[in-house]
Each structure stands twice: as C-alpha cells, then as structure tokens.
C-alpha cells in the first residue's frame, strides 16, 4: 500500500518535485525539508496518529512541504481554509484535538488569531506551531508558540488517549446541515486505491507536470499532491491571485506548461474565457480532469475547442466516497446540447442505484446512488443523496440532489449552515438560502431574510448581513446577495416556500 514517506520522496533524487514560474525544488530537497517538519513535530511530542492542522496563506512551496512533513511524521493532516474566520478554524481544531499547527510566515497573524480563539474555546494545551518560509524551509523551530501558564502544560497521559488510528491520512471538513463543519476521515488505503487507479488510468509518469489548482481542504488537491509525488512527476504551483483572475490564470498556465490539470468546471470556463479569439492552450496539456459540479454542455464544448490536445475526463463523487464514477469524454459527443454522463463506477468503488422503497435497481432506472469500497467512509454502502439515472447503455447520469446540498465552485455547501448563521444575527427573524443559476458562474448563492418585528424595526442592510457572514463562514459560503423581506413565503403546510423564493427577481 502506498504511503508518503521522506525516503520515498528522496528516491526520485534531483528530479523536479515542485515548480513555480520563478523557482523549483528537487525531490531530494523536498524530502529534506519535509523531514525537518516531521522532526520538529516529533521533538514537540506530537506522536504518530495525532491530528495536525495545516494552513498556508501564501500557498507557495511551504504548503506541499508542510503537508509532506505532517504525513511523513505519521500525523493525520487537518487542512484549514486560510480565508475562513479564526473562530471557525479554532472550532475545527478543537473538535479534532489538534495540538500542532503547520503554517507559513504569511499566516502568522491568522495563527495568532486562532490561538486567541482557542483560548476562548477553553482549550488548555499549548499549541505547537511549525512555521515555514515561502520555500518550505523552517522559519521557526517548532517549539510551543506560547509559554503563558494560563494555557496549562501538556499532560502525556491525556494526549496518549487522544492518539488516533494511523490508518487515517487526513480529515477534511465539509459544510454541515447542523451549522457545524462535518469531519470526513480519509484513509491511506482509500488514497492508495484512488491515486493508484488514476495514475494508471491517465498514465502519469515522472515526465508530467500536474497543475496545483484546488485548495487542500478540497479532496481534488489530494490527487495533485499524492498522485504527483507517487509518480515522481512535478507539481506546478500558482498563487491564489493567479487562480482568481482569468488573465493571470491564462498567463500562469502558458508559463508553467502543465500536462495534467484536475479542477472544477468553473476554473476551465474562466481559463477559456481569458484566451483571445482563436487562441488555444499549449499542446503539452494532454489530460484534463473535471469534477465538483456540472460542466454546462455549451461551455464544455467551448473549452474542448481551446484544449485540442487534451483528453477530457468527467469525475464524480462526494467527499465521503472520493471519486467513485468517471466518464472519458468523446469529442464527437460535444455538441453543446447533450449532457455529459458521470459514467461508470471506478474499480475500487462499487455503485448501486436504490429505489425509494429500498429495492436495488438492476439495469436502467432512476434512484439514489449508493457507494461502497475502500475510498468510502466506513466502507459503505454510503447514500450519496444524489438522484442518478442509469441509461440503457449502462452509463450513470446525474439528475440532481435529493436533499438541499449544493456545489458552489466545486465546494459542497449546506444551505442550512448559512441559514443557521443568519438566524443568529440580532436583526433576523428567519432566513432561507438557496442556489440560483448564474450565466457567468453556473450557480451562486442567494439568501432571503425576514426581519424581526421589533418596534422600531431593526436597521440592517444586505451589506451588513454579508459582512457579518464573512466573519463566521468561509468566502464561498457567503451569498452573492441577501434580500430583506417582511416575511418569507410559505407553503400550505406552513413551511418556507423555496420555489416561490426562486421566482423572485434577482435584482
């Protein structure tokens, strides 16, 4: 079974492990710097199987080095969103029992805010901080970041009881319907099956360059790192600024010459839109994998024209299963009208359709997709809550959500978590959040708020509520617009009428 180790990294010697537009890092140097991180964690008493938080504000070489160091130390990586509020991050760290945080120098202010939030959460243990510079070298020794006696001293016996199973590689967090981020443990066995299958499927070799796209809080990023380093390929990295702006993204892709990109459709739509009329992507781009949301047929056909040398793969699967189905897209089928199937089950993830009465659907039909196998939390069968159709040719087609969970730019979002946050605002009586179609971005979030009936009524604006949400939720969960209403529309049973809200004007 594949498991990342510093000796495994070092075996690739002077081959390029990480490359940016301005510099590079060899596998041997990556191994040495990752080992420095691992050694710092061990010296601080962080044992194998412990949950270790990692965050990068600059998203330079430090992120891959830090991640490799955490994994090489036998730790369970708990990736954090650098744009999320410190209180949310602290709640995640407390929930997972994280006593260590690996971060870059740019995240020093964020780390200080996290420590303050942890104290507010009455977390007693001293937080060990391992700080890296942009190149992934240690910028601080990794000793406890504070000697404040009010934090209390680490008690070995208490920590020993919190040591986790070393079969877990990382714990990702998705949006939770109860208002609390939901932890999803990912095992080494599952990552071995996933990265091994896809490395073979796309014939990943040391000659490849895999573009680093998704944030490490997103399961797509684990292909970027583990499949790349497993194969001895190069990880090509960009800044968040380059990812955010179309022209900067285009220029970075042209400069880095990636051979493989795995991202959400909105990224490829942005990239295609930034190209000049008639311009195409470099012929070195041989494989494009997309996942996380539906790629609109017209936009997929347009992107395919701009990437004439790339094989196109549609990958599907919630975080709890990782990629469980796939479809190799035939260019002759890209007419701008027909949908792209989510395909067939991966060899490591048996899939079944289940009818409303619980019966297994054999052959063609529509039901809820259930997934089993080593990449699935608990081994399955896991109910995806996705309505899926199997057509007569055996291919799966996505038919929407059974519950209210949606994908926004590839991130899984529970509208209930947004509503839970809005309902805590002193001016809000009740709220409703839902996705709406957007011609540029595919889907965006809108929220509707019924104001409290105080006398005088509270004064608040759309901007006030969005600023408030930005302090308690990550950016991708903050609605594009918040509409203030006297009352929310109701169905005949007294429930919020979401369909009526969808029909309200968007301006």
Report residue 499: phi and psi, to 5°: -65, -40
132 and 232 share a domain?
A: no
44 and 126 share a domain?
A: yes
Q: Assess if residue 406 is contained within a domain.
A: no
Strand stretches in 264-324, DSSP E: 287-290, 311-316
CATH number, domain at 473?
A: 3.30.300.30
45 and 116 share a domain?
A: yes
Q: Assess if residue 4 is contained within a domain.
A: no
198 and 135 share a domain?
A: no
98 and 199 share a domain?
A: no
Token pair, residue 228, equals 């790349």
CATH number, domain at 332?
A: 3.40.50.12780
CATH number, domain at 35?
A: 3.40.50.980
492 and 388 share a domain?
A: no
Domain, as residue range, for 396:
190-401
pLDDT per residue, tens digit, the chain (507 aa), is 999 999 999 999 999 999 999 999 999 999 999 999 999 999 999 999 999 999 999 999 999 999 999 999 999 999 999 999 999 999 999 999 999 999 999 999 999 999 999 999 888 788 999 999 999 999 965 444 433 322 222 333 333 334 456 899 999 998 766 667 899 999 999 999 999 999 999 999 999 999 999 999 999 999 999 999 999 999 999 988 888 888 999 999 999 999 999 998 889 988 998 999 999 999 999 999 999 888 889 899 999 999 999 999 999 999 999 999 999 999 999 998 889 999 999 999 999 999 999 999 999 999 999 999 999 999 999 999 999 999 999 999 999 888 888 889 889 898 989 998 998 899 998 899 999 988 777 789 999 999 887 777 778 999 999 999 999 999 999 999 999 998 899 875 667 888 899 887 655
Q: What is the pTM of this model?
A: 0.86
333 and 250 share a domain?
A: yes
Q: Assess if residue 358 is contained within a domain.
A: yes
Q: Assess if residue 299 is contained within a domain.
A: yes
Q: How many domains does the chain have?
A: 3
Strand stretches in 241-286, DSSP E: 260-263
Cα torsion through 65, 68, 69, 72, rounded to 10 = -160
370 and 421 share a domain?
A: no
CB-CB contact of 135 with 61 (8 Å): yes
Reference 144, options 37, 41, 36; nearest CA is 41
Pairing status of strand 360-361 against strand 365-371: unpaired
307 and 350 share a domain?
A: yes
């Amino acid at each position: 079974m594949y498991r990342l180790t510093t000796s495994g990294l070092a075996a690739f010697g002077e081959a390029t492990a990480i490359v940016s537009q301005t510099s590079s890092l060899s596998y041997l140097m990556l191994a040495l710097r990752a080992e420095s991180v691992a050694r710092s964690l061990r010296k601080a008493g962080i044992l194998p199987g412990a949950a270790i938080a990692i965050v990068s504000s600059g998203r330079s070489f430090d992120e891959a080095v830090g991640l490799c160091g955490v994994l090489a130390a036998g730790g369970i990586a708990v990736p954090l969103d650098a744009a999320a509020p410190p209180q949310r991050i602290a709640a995640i760290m407390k929930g997972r029992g994280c006593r260590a945080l690996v971060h870059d120098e740019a995240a020093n202010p964020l780390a200080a805010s996290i420590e303050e939030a942890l104290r507010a959460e009455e977390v007693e243990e001293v937080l060990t901080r391992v700080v890296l510079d942009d190149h992934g070298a240690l910028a601080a020794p990794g000793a406890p970041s504070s000697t404040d006696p009010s934090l209390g001293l680490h008690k070995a016996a208490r920590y020993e009881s919190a040591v986790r199973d070393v079969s877990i590689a990382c714990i990702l967090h998705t949006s939770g319907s109860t208002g609390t981020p939901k932890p999803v443990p990912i095992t080494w066995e599952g990552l071995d099956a996933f990265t091994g299958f896809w490395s073979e499927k796309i014939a990943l070799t040391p000659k490849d360059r895999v573009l680093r796209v998704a944030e490490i809080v997103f399961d797509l990023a684990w292909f970027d790192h583990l499949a790349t380093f497993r194969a001895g390929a190069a990880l090509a990295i960009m800044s968040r600024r380059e990812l955010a702006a179309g022209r900067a993204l285009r220029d970075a892709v042209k400069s880095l010459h990636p051979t493989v990109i795995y991202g959400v459709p909105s990224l490829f739509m942005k990239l295609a839109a930034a190209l000049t009329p008639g311009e195409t992507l470099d012929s070195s781009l041989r494989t494009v994998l997309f996942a996380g949301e539906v790629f609109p047929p017209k936009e997929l056909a347009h992107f395919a024209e701009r990437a004439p040398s790339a094989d196109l793969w549609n990958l599907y699967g919630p975080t709890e299963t990782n990629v469980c189905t796939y479809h190799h897209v035939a260019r002759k089928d890209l007419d701008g009208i027909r949908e792209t199937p989510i395909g067939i089950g991966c060899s490591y993830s048996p899939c079944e359709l289940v009818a409303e009465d619980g019966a297994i659907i054999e052959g063609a039909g529509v039901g809820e997709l259930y997934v089993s196998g080593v990449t699935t939390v608990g081994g399955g069968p896991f109910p995806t809550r996705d309505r899926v159709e199997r057509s007569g040719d055996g291919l799966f087609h996505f038919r929407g959500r059974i519950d209210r969970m949606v994908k926004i730019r590839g991130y899984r979002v529970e509208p209930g978590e947004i509503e839970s946050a809005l309902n805590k605002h002193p001016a809000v009586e009740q709220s409703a959040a839902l996705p709406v179609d957007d011609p540029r971005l595919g889907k965006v979030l809108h929220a509707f708020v019924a104001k409290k009936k105080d006398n005088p009524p509270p004064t608040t604006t759309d901007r006030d509520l969005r600023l408030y949400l930005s302090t308690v939720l990550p950016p991708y969960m903050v609605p594009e617009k918040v509409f203030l209403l006297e009352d929310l529309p109701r169905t005949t049973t007294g429930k919020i009428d979401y369909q009526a809200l969808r029909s309200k004007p968007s301006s």
